[in-house]
Amino acid sequence: MSEPENPSSETVEDVEEELDGEAVEAGDSQAIAAQLMKNPGVLAALQDKLSSIVGSPSGYIQSLPKEVKRRIKALKKLQNEIINVEAEFYKEVNLLELKYAPKYTALFEKRKEVVSAAREPTDEECDWPSDEEEEDEKDEEGKLAPDSQQGELKDKTSLEGAKEAGGDGEEKKAEEDTKGIPSFWLTIFKNVDMLSEMVQEHDEPIMAHLQDIQVVIHDKDPVGFSLEFRFEPNEYFTETVLTKRYEMRYEPDPQDPFAFEGPEIIKCTGCTITWNKGKNVTVKQIKKKQKHKGRGLTRTVTKQVQADSFFNFFNPPAVPEGSESEVDEEIEALLGADFEIGHFIRERIVPRAVLFFTGEAIENDDYDDEENEESSSSDGEDDEYDEDNDPDFNPEAQGKPNECKQQ
């Protein structure tokens, strides 16, 4: 459907004249709203007027007397003090995080032991209701044959016992050979859209060796936190711990104190990965033909370029020293995405890892999104269709769907 072409203010005035003189009671507001929604020209004109107002000063402040402006300065100074108190609050929150960090660490260590097969959980530790197990039990009960057929089944089982027993034995052995929870963290990364975009197919065999992600909070300058990715020894690189450090600012920026909205990440640094020969997935070789200008001869050269890989996460762009204006838009966007990912891993992924592994945390988020989409799509009425203004309208072709034309 094409947009209305430059609706004029006369359209708005026409509706205003229509409504002028009529008593607008409480019950009439819905009718007025419905009338506006039916007229896209009026709605577009109103939106244009609103957009010209939002974000632009009204001029009221400039018209105030000098004494009133003086009082506004006092309010701004008070606002700065409020922000400073807010900064102190967040610093106290950081101290609380440090206080409770050992308790979290002890629980996360138990999780790591189970995931990496360092320890088998006890029956008491496994005592937790599971919807899947209940469904499996119901399925097994449904498969049970009536009593009259039990004898036949036993005879059949006895005849085929050796063959079936061998198969069951192999399956049981495979279950016993499965240690820990295979591909625990890789599954989490593949389940979460924000992270799955980072993980390439050639990263997956490496990520299968990831045993744990730990958060380390730094209470000394530079304050912030580190994400430690702990791998089992593998054929790809020599390190067993890859670290990403984030520096944070808990105080308002002196140059723009009113922009303070809480602690923010201001810098991140990665680590060096010592790749084994032929295993570096962050680079790729490309062949390029070059032609000699004078002789006309061509040669093929091999060039190494950066390849898409999750492990580029440990080689973020450097933040230039100086003001933010010196950071170009591309680097600023990359850093912004990096900061968001680091914060998400710290605040959501690490504390609730098993729920992202099973998909329960993701299902809850998806349900909220779908609910919002339904509510937004169900509001309002269907668009009206005016066949008189449609040059492609064919009375003889009624009943056939018309193709939408995009302009």
Which pLDDT belongs to residue 175? 61
| pLDDT single digits (tens) 352-384 | 999 999 999 987 665 444 445 454 444 444 444
Tell me if 215 sits within 8 A of 226, measured CB to CB. yes
The residue with greater pLDDT, 380 or 321, is 321
Mean per-residue pLDDT of the chain: 76
In 178-313, alpha helices (H): 184-191, 193-196, 204-207
What pLDDT band is residue 299 in, cutting at 50, 70 and 90?
A: confident
Q: What is the DSSP string of 29-67?
A: HHHHHHHHHH-HHHHHHHHHHHHHHTTS--SHHHHS-HH
Q: Regarding predicted confidence, which is higher, 43 or 220?
A: 220
* Cβ partners under 8 Å of residue 249, min gap 6: 263, 264, 266
CA dist 42 and 45 (Å) reads 5
The pLDDT of residue 221 is 84
Give Cβ neighbours of residue 274 (< 8 Å, ≥ 6 apart): 237, 238, 239
Q: 213-222, 288-297, 333-342: which range is least confident on average?
A: 288-297
Structure confidence at residue 135 (pLDDT): 60
Q: Read off the pTM.
A: 0.65
Which band of pLDDT confidence, cut at 50, 70 and 90, is reported for residue 198?
A: very high
| Per-residue pLDDT at 283 exceeds 70 | yes
Q: Residue 218 in contact with residue 224, Cβ under 8 Å? A: yes
Would you say residue 75 has pLDDT above 50? yes
Q: Does residue 8 have a pLDDT over 90?
A: no
pLDDT above 80 (res 95): yes
Q: Is the pLDDT of residue 227 over 80?
A: yes
CB distance 315 to 332 below 8 Å: no
